Amino acid sequence: MQEKPKVSYIIVDNEFSGQRLDNFLLRELKGVPRSLVYRIVRRGEVRVNEGRSKVSTRLRGGDRVRIPPLRISRRPQPPIERNGLEVRILYEDDHLVVVEKPTGLAVHAGSGIRTGLIEMLRQQRPDDRFLDLVHRLDRETSGCLLLARRRSALRRLHEDLRLNPGGSSQFRKTYLALVQGDWDARRSVVEIPLRKNAERGGERMVVPDEDGLYARSVFTTHERFDQSTLMKVSLLTGRTHQVRVHAAASGHPVLGDEKYGDKTANSRLRAMGLKRLFLHASELGFLHPATRERIEIRSALPPDLAQVLRTLEGSRTDVDNPR
């Protein structure tokens, strides 16, 4: 027998002080139509500090909001779309949101880029009073991207990121990268300092340099193909272009990389359907900023990259470590 919905009470967080009651309810009651929210407020079924309120009532931190019994539709959220690029929500709660960034979308506006992912999300989520990036991904890289919905969450996540930028306890970032050649070692730890440079026609570059910032990556063989290897990469630091430069410095540049890669190898893979950088942020692990529970998020390889691997399947030389 299905349990009937019950009255619930929500204490307004100080971060939502000043928000209108209708916007607060729409954020809390995902899947409830706006018309129903207005109806239950008008009927007095929603109470603020035990008193009737209007939809325009401004809430204060510490207010106690009564929510009547409701049957809420939990339909999957549709992807956010702009100019043909879809941003899917992988995980969301009151403190944070994890999205699946598509390739070709910058995480924020900048030189020559009018709108990035963060501006796009802020525009399409007007009820989020605070929304900011916890970390970044290159424009060409797809996959898991973490954003904070509260300033307190951002501070805590940044603290975890500084303490453990890519390790196994506080923060873990894992990528899938298809690299040139046969990377014969099962596990390779690459520790090469990196320095930002801008010598190539003003284009930002990152180069190995003993005087650069410390950078550490762990490359693990995932699957071998003819003239290429699929690697899992864990970052122990978070430097700009770290995976790409460390792979190239190890003699195995990421395929499809027009900046640090090999033109001949890129041309060969382009004929097999690879039209962009083969680098995907596949896993993200972190401690929840409020509950300190472990959160693990995974993003499947995008269809275009998965198709490239299927094309390479026939030439695979080692099958003892399948995907």
Angle between helices 21-28 and 34-42 (to 10 degrees): 130
Residue 184 covered by a domain: yes
User: Residue 100's domain is classified under what CATH number?
Assistant: 3.30.2350.10
Is residue 74 a part of any domain in this protein? Answer: no
85 and 179 in a single domain? The answer is yes
Whether residue 166 is contained in a domain is answered as: yes
Domain range for 52 is 8-67
pLDDT band at 195 (very low <50, low <70, confident <90, very high): very high
Q: What is the mean pLDDT of residues 277-300?
A: 94
129 and 37 fall within a common domain: no
- What is the residue-averaged pLDDT of the chain? 86
> Helices then strands (H, E): number in the chain?
7, 17
- Cα torsion 49, 54, 59, 62 to 10°: value is 10
Q: Are 91 and 225 contained in the same domain? A: yes
- Give the model's pLDDT for residue 161: 87
- The winner for highest mean pLDDT among 77-81, 121-125, 195-199 is 121-125
Residue at 103: amino acid letter:
T
Question: Same structural domain for residues 165 and 28?
Answer: no
Confidence category of residue 238, pLDDT binned at 50, 70, 90? confident
pLDDT of amino acid 162: 82
Of 39, 67, 95, the residue that ends a domain is: 67
**Residue 115, domain member (yes or no):** yes
Answer yes or no: are the C-beta atoms of 172 and 233 closer than 8 Å. no
What is the pLDDT at residue 276? 96
CA angle 282, 242, 244 (to 5 degrees): 75
Same structural domain, 230 and 124: yes
pLDDT band of residue 75 (cuts 50, 70, 90) is very low
Burial (0-12, 13-18, 19+ Cβ within 10 Å), 201: exposed
Please say if the pLDDT value at position 227 is more than 80. Answer: yes
> E-assigned strands of 202-302?
203-208, 216-225, 228-235, 279-287, 294-298
CATH code for the domain in which residue 33 is found: 3.10.290.10
Number of domains present in the structure of the chain: 2
Residue that terminates a domain, selected from 43, 67, 91: 67
157 found inside a domain: yes
Q: Which of 173, 154, 183, 156 is nearest to 216 (CA)?
A: 173
Q: Is residue 2 part of a domain?
A: no
Q: Does pLDDT of 76 surpass 50?
A: no
In a domain, 274, yes or no: yes
Catalytic residue among 22, 63, 138, 160: 138
pLDDT band for 323, please (50, 70, 90 cuts).
very low
Average pLDDT score over residue span 54-82: 74
Mark whether 139 and 53 lie in a shared domain.
no
Q: Is 138 one of the catalytic residues?
A: yes
Same domain, 93 and 185: yes
Quick check: 242 pLDDT over 70? yes
Q: Are residues 92 and 238 in the same domain?
A: yes
At residue 4, the pLDDT reads: 54
The verdict on 46 and 147 lying in the same domain is no
Q: How confident is the model at residue 8 (pLDDT cuts 50, 70, 90)?
A: confident
**Residue 323 in domain:** no
pLDDT for 71 beyond 80: no
Mean pLDDT for the stretch of residues 68-85 = 59
pTM over 0.85: no
| Angle, CA of 147, 299 and 175, to the nearest 5° | 85
Q: Is residue 255 a contact partner of residue 274, using CB atoms and an 8 Å limit?
A: yes
CA 64 from chain center: how many Å?
A: 33
Q: Which of 16, 45, 67 is the last residue of a domain?
A: 67
Question: Which value, to the nearest 10 degrees, does the dihedral of the CA atoms of residues 37, 41, 46, 48 take?
Answer: 120
Confirm if 69 and 4 have CB atoms less than 8 A apart. yes
Same domain as 20, residue 123: no
- Position 79 scores a pLDDT of 55
pLDDT for 304 equals 95
Do 250 and 163 belong to one domain? Answer: yes
Please indicate, yes or no, whether residues 141 and 192 belong to a single structural domain of this protein.
yes
For residues 300-306, give the mean pLDDT.
95
